[in-house]
Structure 1
Amino acid sequence: MSKHPFNLYYNGGEYVKICGTQDGYFPDFGHHTANEMGGIWLHPIKLLDGFWLKLTDTKRNISVWSRADGFTSEPWGSRFQYDHGLSHIPVAMERTQFAPERVKGMTAAYELHHYGDEDLHLQVELLVRTDLRPVWFSDEVGVHDGVRDEPTVLNPREVLVQDEGNPWFTLVGTDLAGEELEVRSDLYGPEFTAGAGCGIAFRTELTMAAGERRRFHLFVAGSCTSREECEDSYRLLAAAHEALLAEKRGVYSAVAERAKLTVEGEPLWNEAFKWAKWNNQWLIQQVDGTGRGLTAGGPTYPWWFGCDSTYALQGVLAIGDPQLAKDTLNLLLEKSEEVNGNGRFIHELTTLGAVSNRGNTQETAHYIAFVWELFRWTGDEELLRRHYGYCVKGIGWLLGEMDPDGDLFPSGYGIIEIAGLNMELIDSAVYTAKALQAMAEMSGYLQEAEAQQKYSELAQRCTAAVNRSFWQENEGLFADAVAPVADVASKADFLVSLAEAQGVTGYREYMDRLLEADGADFTATAADADAAAGIQANAGHPADRGWLLNKNWVIVTPMEAGIAEPDKARRALDNMRNDTFIGEYGTYLSGMFQQGTMTISTGVHAVAEAASGNPDAALALLGRMLRSFSRVLPGSFSEMSPDYGCVVQAWTIYALAVPVVRHFFGAEPFAARKELRLKPQLPSAWSGKACTLERLVIGEAEFGLSLTEKDGVLQALIHNEAGWKVTVEWNGQIVESCEQRIELKLSGIELEAEEKR
């Protein structure tokens, strides 16, 4: 329960999203669609600005708009407690609300409890403000909000509202007793809202005996296509809301049981991991005619992104929802083909189906790398073939149009979207190397030998070039970017202005020192041209050098992606385990500025540590991230640690699930071959503790893993009901088995293995 009533909450079915404040109100906020990001949304349209309840004690002439003094976040919805917020009226109240998973509507249930000694005469007013309007970026593609919402009273307890200029509908109703109704465009409750909708007030008089309870509901349904669909959804919701809530509880119970983590003696870890899976479910968005996929964050980014997805979907695979990963990537591929067609992967797609950014350089490379991982976890060859053709185009775009100097480092913006930083950036270069490795694997699996050889050679050269050109020997770190001195000098004033705007002093002097440094140590010889690929690969021009401009968090990506040479990886990670890069809640976005931390910066850093064999350092970073758990919304991590930005963010599941599943438990699947390799590396803080991961979904199979490590000895129990080939590697010992129940005791000195059915 939270006692911070003005923080936001976020309830989500796959169709409808609800966002207000934890005191039960719906204030205007947001910048994409100014002051309109809250309320009730049926994407790509908004239905309501909000709803409010007023109670009047008619005997004593006391009126109060109810404001919650307690809030409980549930995986399936929210509960608001009104124990002390109703002034001197002797009534306690609870409001419970949820959006069904697959119905285009929501319901709020109110229960009043009269705790006084005498009969109580009340007037009850349930007020709703409609606001039928489209999602952000609609004007740019020719979809415009009508001037007003037009209401039609169906009966005293149901009002249908249509946008004046579009087939957008909402039907609002209640089972509150009585027939008094008022509908006006200028009818407001306790908050003025900016939307050009209408106010609807359902009122009634009632008498409550001492100790009596009364219950009633608000029902809201919508459609962005027809009145008939809106009315059908409403009738279903009003008739079956209890069954729909039971169904939703069942969905969330199933999510909790899938990839269920239990670490003995670590209740916070177990709880946070479970809630992260539930948070992920809140962010699924289905839009008829557009598609289904994982949105980036609520309430500020309730649509789809390229790079957010290629991070978050790695976590989605680890928690066992392959269909969501497929749906999301297919949706982004379809739009990339539609608006680009040349292999470039889109950055931002609204729920209206409009692309506002055709794609940053880094996310095309990251997309290609992820396609191979998705295949390894699902074994879906049809999906692999569907994406492979676009991946071929994507490599051509990266190493052609985006790499005019042919050094295998594509130019343009990476995940750090700072104006002016559109150079040859570390994340774009690293993920291009990873993409080339993935292309070699994909083409090899698809038996395209010539392509496999070409991509393999390019991957080796690109990996070597990253280690040569981005490595800063004097700093023991990888650089943010590679560029000629003249290119950085021309951006120096702009970069200084950015630093000074954030209150950073001394950055001008820092830039001057960088520009004056001897560039001899940063040069690299040209590599041979690749005639078969038609790409010049002269990695590292004499005029180019690496630049640590901001010490952005993406300088850990060579270790995260596993392409850093071992000695460089060790030195870089050693040199980042300090307060230049790490703050109270995790890894700073910029070691230079130290003014922001995200779950993604901390998560990628943790994966880098774990992938480099440092589980203790990875756990330490994640422990810092866990300090932000429930700081704003109980059961959730904010986008910006510890307490601002979106109250729920998709790539948090990457930050938690990937280190745990792929590194601590060491899961490396190849579903198409029905193989699972386990290379566990449990943190020393979990030594002697039973660590279990139940119902790990890979392809069509499920696995149960139970690991305990103590004094270098690993005891493992693996449930392998599908009979896959399971390989366990521990301290140089390797055991293979296809048994349905595998019990192992492994150490680096001796090996005891007992396999039982």
Structure 2
Amino acid sequence: MKSEKRSKHPFNLYLTSGEYMKVIGSQDGYFPDFGHHVANEMGGVWLHPIKLLDGFWLRVTDPSRGISVWARADEYATLPWGNTFRYDHGLGHIPVSIERVQFAPETEKGLVVRYEIYNSAAAETALELELLARTDLRPVWHSETIGVVDGPADEARALSSRLALAKDGDHDWYACVGTDLPGEQYSIGGQLYGPEFTSGNGAGISFRASVALAPGERFVFHLVVSGSTESGEACERTYRLLEDPAERQRLLEEKQAAYEAIRARASLEIEGDPDFCDVFAWAKWNTQWLVQRVDGIGRGLTAGSPTYPWWFGCDNAYALQGVLAVGDHRLALETAKLLLEFSKRANGNGRIIHEATTMGVVANPGNTQETAHYICLVWELYRWTGDRTVLEDNYEACGSGMDWLLGEMDPDGDGLPSGYGIIEIAGLNMELIDSAAYTAAAAGAMSRIAAELGAGEEAAAYAVLEKRLTRAVNETFWDEREGLFCDAVAPKKDLLPKVDDIVSMAERHGAEGVREALERQLSETEGLEADRGWLIQKNWVISTPMEAGVADRAKGERAVRNMRNEAFVGEYGSYLSAVLQQGTMTISTGAHAVAEARYGDPEAALELLRRMNRSFSTALPGSICEMSPDYGCIAQAWTLYALAVPVVMHLIGLQPEAHRRRVRLEPKVPASWEGRWIRLRDARVGDASLDIALRKEGGKLAVEIVNASGLTVVVSWNGRVVESAEADIRFALDR
């Protein structure tokens, strides 16, 4: 596995990430204005919930040749823990090359950028250097709703000739910018810009130096940035820490060790398929990039960078399943706790929020699906971690959430809650398949949670409810003619006013025959008042009954067969809509892969993941974009769900029961992995660790498990069951 990914696509974006600090720029080393949540302000250097800098730039001047350039990188590389930029041709005919390496310490509020200039000439080369940063202290999106707005022009002043402190005009938001360049020359001013005229109320800070390099000589200097939402003194303390060479090296080594630990935990090795394992490892690292720590709020997994750098209920209901499967139980528990706290403050009725910004603003109180999905997640948290407090802390809220779903959101009392689900398309706020499937699954989760907490009567009542809701999904949403679950359930009178809008949107995406398909369904429907299922766009969420495990076996098997074709699956995975075929996301592909693994063919599930992986490194080296192949967020949290849940929990078949100190192993080995060893090292279940190795060949399954923690391991395959708690488990099963 390669721990470096290179690119020569300079205008794509990159991310440098610590748990506090995030840096977003272009792969040529620049910082263009872009973004819509905060218009033209989503890039730069962020210490959430505030932005510190629009960016920083280096100008190199060769007086003897009369050349002066703002350095633009020719080559970019992603490292798990940081980034490197190479400057060669972008320096014109100046006979030097530059390497820039940057990283954000994991739990310090700062950034370290190291520049190394190499003189490749046969003679001494004299250079004039200018290192310029542009501050832009301002708040994250939606802050104005609580009265927090960007102040007037930043106030910047020199603390020394090599260190400046900037403050927002109205708030105690601070940024320190400094360097160890030699010399004393500097400038500070509101109209001081580098090669890019960036938006915002910032100030320019420029440090200048003259150096002379002998042939073959290397010259190293640093840019250090720190920030604070408390005081200038706190900001300077962080800067002083990061300017110390020994401390910088310590923090870098700590970060590199942390990322090596991430690689080693739940490490996937598939004999003869290193590329797949490489993507798997990078998906774990990508997830860590999206962890955001904010003092006074907490730590949790954000949805995606750079467009959605805050916390989401929907995204985490998926992503945290992947986080659990790769063993980062702490992150999963902390993120879920954060979502619950936000939801209690904003709603107080069990409804789980859709999104909360890093300023603490709940921008959307929650779509229907995410409350049900969160309840399912609580059970997953428990069976992976064995932490009983997660049930105790969530039980009352989850019970209220079920009441909200089947009360306020289910006015007709049919067990199918209404409102927007994952697909937030205007007009699709009916009884939707994803909300219905997850509500049925949530009832099952509540039954198991109640039983664990000793609430026997409630457990029995939820079990009855699960059966009723599951039956409603399978009867009401099923389209027998198509052999598919429908997008939505509604009476004819509710769909009729929406037909023109649905058709218009479809035609904008080049889809044909949509009106005819809807009119056929309408013509088959007698009466205006009775509920029935509608196949409107064949959105990807029609796979959720299989993904959630609530589809009847025969219907689920038929549905995945009928989705295994070019209408539903494109070059990079599963379309968001089989009708529109306008985009592909890792979430649509991942949910479809889980559905295939549960009800269909493990090889078909693997093929979906291989298609998804085709877009790996297309835009950002080392990552898969939100939208395949190369647009949307450059890193997206639910990608780990898309890879880890189908692979770990279904193809390898690891089903945790940490609360019982037991694990079930129910492998479904894809045909293309037959004859190969499949290994998952350091798989975490509760406080235990397992090394699992499987090899299927013909009618035989070989199993080797290192079980030093003494878990009870139950292996089920083709009707054969083996149970053992030994430290070294080795056996083979025949058909």
TM bracket (short chain): over 0.9
C-alpha contact 2:381 2:390 (8 A) present in aligned 1:
no
Other structure's SS at 2:257 match: helix
- 1:611 aligns to 2:598 (yes or no): yes
Letter matched to residue 376 of structure 1: R
Partner of 1:677: 664
Match of 2:239 among 227, 234, 241: 234
Q: What is the CA deviation profile of residues 546-588 of structure 1, one whole-angstrom value per residue up to 9, with x for unaligned ones?
A: 0000000000011111111111111111111111111000000
CA distance in 1, matches of 2:16, 2:702: 41
Partner of 1:561: 548
Q: How far did 1:612 drift?
A: 1.5
Other structure's SS at 2:155 match: strand
Partner of 1:688: 675
CA distance in 1, matches of 2:599, 2:71: 54
Match of 1:179 among 153, 177, 184: 184
C-alpha contact 1:91 1:116 (8 A) present in aligned 2:
yes
Partner of 2:716: 729
- With normalisation by structure 1, the TM-score equals 0.95
Partner of 1:751: none
Match of 1:647 among 620, 629, 634: 634
Match of 1:629 among 594, 616, 622: 616
Letter matched to residue 229 of structure 2: C
Q: How far did 1:497 drift?
A: 2.5
Partner of 2:470: 463
CA distance in 2, matches of 1:545, 1:512: 14
Give the paired residue count: 728
- With normalisation by structure 2, the TM-score equals 0.98
C-alpha contact 1:519 1:545 (8 A) present in aligned 2:
no
CA distance in 2, matches of 1:252, 1:340: 37
C-alpha contact 1:342 1:394 (8 A) present in aligned 2:
yes
CA distance in 1, matches of 2:699, 2:191: 71
CA distance in 1, matches of 2:505, 2:395: 40
Letter matched to residue 490 of structure 1: P
- Show structure 1 runs of 4+ deviating over 4 A: none
Other structure's SS at 2:395 match: helix
Letter matched to residue 136 of structure 1: W
Q: How far did 1:542 drift?
A: 7.4
C-alpha contact 1:613 1:681 (8 A) present in aligned 2:
no
Letter matched to residue 44 of structure 2: G
Partner of 1:533: none
Matches within 5 A, 1:421-440: 421-440=428-447
C-alpha contact 2:157 2:188 (8 A) present in aligned 1:
no
CA distance in 2, matches of 1:451, 1:321: 31
- 1:166 aligns to 2:153 (yes or no): no
C-alpha contact 2:543 2:592 (8 A) present in aligned 1:
yes
CA distance in 2, matches of 1:66, 1:712: 61
Identical columns (%): 58
Other structure's SS at 2:15 match: strand
Partner of 1:712: 699
Match of 2:530 among 520, 526, 543: 543
Match of 1:319 among 309, 322, 326: 326
Q: How far did 1:685 drift?
A: 0.3
C-alpha contact 2:17 2:23 (8 A) present in aligned 1:
yes
Match of 2:146 among 131, 141, 165: 141
Q: What is the CA deviation profile of residues 16-61 of structure 1, one whole-angstrom value per residue up to 9, with x for unaligned ones?
A: 0011011100000000000000010000000000000001001122
Match of 2:79 among 37, 61, 74: 74
Letter matched to residue 657 of structure 1: A
Letter matched to residue 237 of structure 1: L
- 1:156 aligns to 2:161 (yes or no): yes
Provide structure 1 residue ranges, at least 5 long, that are not aligned to the other structure: 521-540, 749-757
Match of 2:450 among 436, 443, 455: 443
Q: How far did 1:433 drift?
A: 0.2
CA distance in 2, matches of 1:347, 1:160: 37
Partner of 1:48: 53
Provide structure 2 residue ranges, at least 5 long, that are not aligned to the other structure: 1-5
CA distance in 1, matches of 2:30, 2:529: 61
Q: How far did 1:514 drift?
A: 2.2
Partner of 1:579: 566
Partner of 1:523: none
C-alpha contact 1:606 1:621 (8 A) present in aligned 2:
yes
Other structure's SS at 1:85 match: helix
Q: What is the CA deviation profile of residues 313-349 of structure 1, one whole-angstrom value per residue up to 9, with x for unaligned ones?
A: 0000011000000000000000100010001000000
Q: What is the CA deviation profile of residues 258-283 of structure 1, one whole-angstrom value per residue up to 9, with x for unaligned ones?
A: 00000001011110001000001100
Q: How far did 1:712 drift?
A: 1.9
Other structure's SS at 1:139 match: helix
- 1:27 aligns to 2:32 (yes or no): yes
Q: What is the CA deviation profile of residues 500-556 of structure 1, one whole-angstrom value per residue up to 9, with x for unaligned ones?
A: 333334333332222112459xxxxxxxxxxxxxxxxxxxx9701000000000000
Other structure's SS at 1:102 match: coil
CA distance in 2, matches of 1:747, 1:191: 67
CA distance in 2, matches of 1:33, 1:299: 11
CA distance in 1, matches of 2:377, 2:476: 25
CA distance in 1, matches of 2:211, 2:27: 28
Match of 2:335 among 313, 319, 328: 328
Q: What is the CA deviation profile of residues 104-140 of structure 1, one whole-angstrom value per residue up to 9, with x for unaligned ones?
A: 0001100000000111111000010000000000111
Partner of 1:57: 62
Q: What is the CA deviation profile of residues 394-416 of structure 1, one whole-angstrom value per residue up to 9, with x for unaligned ones?
A: 00000000001000000000000
> CA 1:519–1:697 in 2, change beyond 3 Å: closer, same or farther?
farther
CA distance in 2, matches of 1:542, 1:503: 32
Other structure's SS at 1:315 match: helix
Letter matched to residue 651 of structure 2: F
